[in-house]
């Protein structure tokens, strides 16, 4: 009789454990999906992760979750990072997400025409990387060389695009991804056209960065490119204001005559040829324009104050355009200030 009771008790215990195990492994903790952010630290023990999941109510039993991990040989395969998990997920789904490293991806959009310094600030604001780390790496000759960039810094090579990174991505990996996008954008076709023009990669990127800063209109990029190609060919200074501004530390925002005569490596009023390197990160359309100048003889352009430019072949025509679009506008502003 006692033996029968013992057997029955054992069966009941086994049945209870089996039922609880099934509940703990096959079913979600709740039918309602309540999301929780779970951060798995680098080198975290599987037991610690299981306990954290149980504390947030994502699993019923850390013990059975550890059993599942052992059965699937997943205890040492979970990936560190931030996870968005919810209570309607089955334990096997949660474990699969941890093993596959399906971490939260944060997006950051880098627009065209930003300098490396501005990109560093943007990445820091997006909590992707510290600005100081970006500045350090962008100027690290060994790191730059390791990325296959034939330049002294990464200025111009951090390609404008929308990127998705986990929160704790290393700054090296962030910059590596951006340079990789540049290499994808700078296609063999662009390389071939550059070679036909006698331009090295850094020349193309430098010219493209100036084009990017001079205009935001796609229909003008190849015209701006033509002006600079024509000036380079005739050995006339490029006279690009954005290059002058780039060479001024702590620029006030007001470009003066003194600035235009200031001797810096990036002053294309006082120096012939391209500046020593890019002044910003150009987008694809500016890279394309740099090696596809329009077949025109323009040597000058001036802003029409509406986002577009007036292009001229001769200095006489250019001076008339400057008077029309710039000097008259300045006179109108002065008159308005006096009237006020």
The position carrying tokens 């490293």 is 101
H-helix or E-strand containing 302?
A: strand 300-303
pLDDT at 27: 82
Q: Distance between terminal CA atoms of the chain?
A: 110
Q: Are residues 205 and 162 in the same domain?
A: no
| Residue span of the structural domain in which 294 resides | 188-298
C-alpha distances (whole Å) from 2 to each of 6, 7, 8, 11, 16 are 6, 9, 10, 14, 21
Of 46, 71, 100, the position where a domain reaches its end is: 100
Please give the Cα distance from 73 to 76 (Å, whole number).
Answer: 8
pLDDT at 298: 97
In this prediction the pTM is: 0.82
Which CATH number covers residue 33?
3.30.1490.480
Of 45, 69, 100, the position where a domain reaches its end is: 100
Q: Are residues 289 and 194 in the same domain?
A: yes
pLDDT at 275: 97
Low-confidence ranges of the chain (pLDDT < 50): 5-7, 9-15, 18-20, 22, 330-340
Q: Are residues 179 and 233 in the same domain?
A: no
pLDDT at 328: 57
pLDDT at 339: 34
The position carrying tokens 């979970």 is 78
The position carrying tokens 């994808």 is 184
H-helix or E-strand containing 163?
A: strand 162-165
- Cα 187 to chain centroid, rounded: 19
In this structure, is residue 325 part of a structural domain?
A: no
């Amino acid at each position: 009789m006692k033996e029968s009771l013992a057997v029955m008790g054992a069966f009941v215990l086994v049945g209870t454990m089996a039922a609880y195990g099934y509940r703990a492994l096959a079913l979600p903790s709740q039918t309602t999906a309540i999301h929780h952010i779970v951060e798995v630290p680098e080198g975290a023990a599987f037991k610690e992760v299981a306990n954290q999941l149980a504390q947030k109510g994502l699993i019923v039993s850390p013990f059975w979750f550890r059993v599942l991990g052992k059965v699937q040989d997943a205890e040492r395969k979970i990936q560190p990072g931030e996870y968005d998990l919810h209570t309607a997920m089955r334990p096997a789904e949660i474990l699969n997400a941890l093993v596959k490293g399906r971490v939260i991806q944060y997006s950051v959009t880098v627009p065209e025409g930003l300098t490396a310094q501005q990109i560093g600030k943007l990445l820091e604001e997006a909590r992707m990387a510290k600005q100081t780390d970006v500045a350090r790496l962008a100027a690290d000759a060994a790191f730059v060389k390791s990325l296959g960039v034939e330049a002294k810094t990464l200025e111009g090579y951090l390609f404008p695009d929308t990127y998705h990174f986990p929160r704790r991505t290393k700054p090296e990996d962030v910059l590596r991804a951006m340079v990789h996008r540049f290499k994808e954008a700078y296609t063999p076709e662009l390389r071939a056209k550059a070679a036909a023009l006698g331009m090295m990669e850094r020349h193309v990127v430098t010219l493209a960065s100036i084009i990017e800063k001079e205009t935001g209109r796609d229909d003008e990029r190849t015209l701006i490119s033509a002006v600079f190609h024509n000036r380079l060919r005739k050995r006339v200074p490029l006279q690009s204001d954005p290059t002058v501004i780039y060479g001024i530390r702590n620029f006030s925002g007001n470009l003066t005559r003194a600035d235009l005569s200031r001797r810096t490596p990036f002053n294309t009023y006082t120096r012939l040829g391209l500046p020593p390197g890019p002044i910003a990160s150009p987008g694809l359309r500016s890279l394309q324009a740099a090696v596809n100048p329009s077949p025109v003889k323009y040597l000058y352009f001036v802003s029409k104050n509406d986002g577009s430019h007036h292009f001229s072949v001769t200095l006489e025509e250019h001076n008339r355009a400057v008077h029309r679009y710039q000097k008259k506008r300045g006179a109108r502003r002065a008159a308005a200030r006096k009237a006020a």
